[in-house]
Amino acid sequence: MNAPMELILQHVTARTNRDGTKRYYFNRRGQPLTRLPGEPETPEFMAVYRKCKEWVSPHAAAYEGSFEWMCDQYMKSPDFTSKAKATRDARKRVILSMMAEPLERGKPETFGQERAERIGPAHLEVLRDRKRDNPNAGNERLKILSQVFKHAKVRPNPVRDIGRLRVPKGGHDTATDEDIAAYEAKHPSGPARLAMDILKHTGVRVSDLRLLGRQHVKNGLISFVTVKTKMLCELPVNNLDLPKDRMTFVLTEEGAAFASDKALSARVAKWFRQAGVRDVTAHSVRKWRATKMAEGGATEYQLMAWFGWKDPKEARPYVQAANRRRLAHEAGEKASIV
C-alpha cells in the first residue's frame, strides 16, 4: 500500500469535495495558499508544486542586506547577548523603535527597510534629532547604532562624526527632602511606602528593587548582585522594616510582583505625582541617597561599594559637589565683613 501523499510531498493538503473528489493545495506558513492542478505526481501538478517550493517571500528577499537585517545580526551576536538582560531589553526596545520609524514623515518606507549600505550620517542625524526633546534618548540611539555598525565592521563607523545632543547638566532631577516628605505624607503605608523606605535606605536601582525579597536578607545585611553591573552589594538593614514572608518585597496594590523594571519605575513616578511631585523618579531618590552620603563624607570608593558602581567616575560628581559645598561654607566662615 502506498504511503499517504501528504507524507511524501511537503506542505500539500487535501480537501474532499461533496462528491468525494479531492482538491490539493500547497499550504506553507507565510506563503499564499495555492491550488495544485490535477492529481499528485502528474506533470502539471508537479510543475506548480516545484514552483511553490521555490517561492521566496518578497519581504525575505528585501530583508537580506537591509538595515533591519544588520540590526538583527547584531542582536544575535555575543556583543549583544553577553550583556545583562535589563540592558538587552532596553537596547532592543530602542532598536525596534528606530527600525519602525519612517524614513520621511508621511511616507511608508521605514529605516528598517532601507539598504544597510545606504545608511549614512544624514539618516543617523534624523534618528537622533527625532529625540531632540529628550537628548539622553537621542544620544542613546547613537550609542547603540555605533555598536551595530561596529559589529558589522563598517569602516569608518558612520556614527563617529555625528555630534551628540547637548544634555542639561544633572541628568535626572535629584529628589529633595521636601519631595520625599510629600511622598511619605501621601503614602503612609502600603506598597508605595515600602518602596520609598527601601529606596531611601539603599538607593538601589529599580532593576534591583523589583527583585529584592527575604532571600536577600541575612545577618543584618541585604546582600544581592546588581542586575546592571553584576556587582555584589552588602548593605546593612539597620532599622529598615521589611516583610518577613515575601520573596519579593515591593508588590503592586493588587499584591502581584511587577512584570518589568519599566512598570515599577512608572509606578514610583506615579506615586510621586499623586503626592503632587512631578519629574521625580526612583532614580531621583537614588541620586538623593548618593548626595546625602557624599555630604556625610563618603569617598568615591565607598560610594562605589554601596551603589554597585564599577567606575569611580560614577561616584566622583557626588563627592566633588559635596566638597564644593563644604569648601564654600568654610570660605564663608573665613570671610570678614566690615
Taking only the tens place, the pLDDT of each residue in 30-51 is 677 889 998 888 999 999 999 9
Tell me the three state secondary structure of residue 16.
strand
All cell numbers assigned to 148: 551595530
pTM above 0.85, yes or no: no
Residue 4: the pLDDT is 45
Give the chain's domains with CATH numbers. 5-55 (no CATH), 63-151 (no CATH), 177-330 (1.10.443.10)
Residue 11: the pLDDT is 87
Residue 14 neighbours by CB under 8 Å, 6+ apart:
5, 6, 22, 23, 24, 25
Cβ atoms of 60 and 29 within 8 Å: the answer is: no
Q: What is the CA radius of gyration of the chain?
A: 29
Burial of 268 (0-12, 13-18, 19+ CB in 10 A): buried
Residue 58: the pLDDT is 58
Residue 57: the pLDDT is 60
Backbone angles phi, psi at 17, to 5 degrees: -80, 170
Q: What is the mean pLDDT of the segment spanning 209-222?
A: 95
Q: What is the mean pLDDT of the segment spanning 77-100?
A: 91
Cell numbers 506548480 correspond to: 48
The band of 60, judged by pLDDT with boundaries at 50, 70 and 90, is low
Average pLDDT of the residues of the chain: 89
CA distance 284 to 72: 34
Q: What is the mean pLDDT of the segment spanning 185-207?
A: 96
Residue 121: the pLDDT is 92
Q: Does 78 sit behind a cis peptide bond, omega within 30 degrees of 0 on the bond before it?
A: no
Specify the higher pLDDT residue, 274 or 326: 274
Q: Give residue-wise pLDDT tens across range 128-163.
A: 999 998 888 999 999 999 999 999 999 999 999 899
All cell numbers assigned to 221: 545585611
Residue 167: the pLDDT is 73
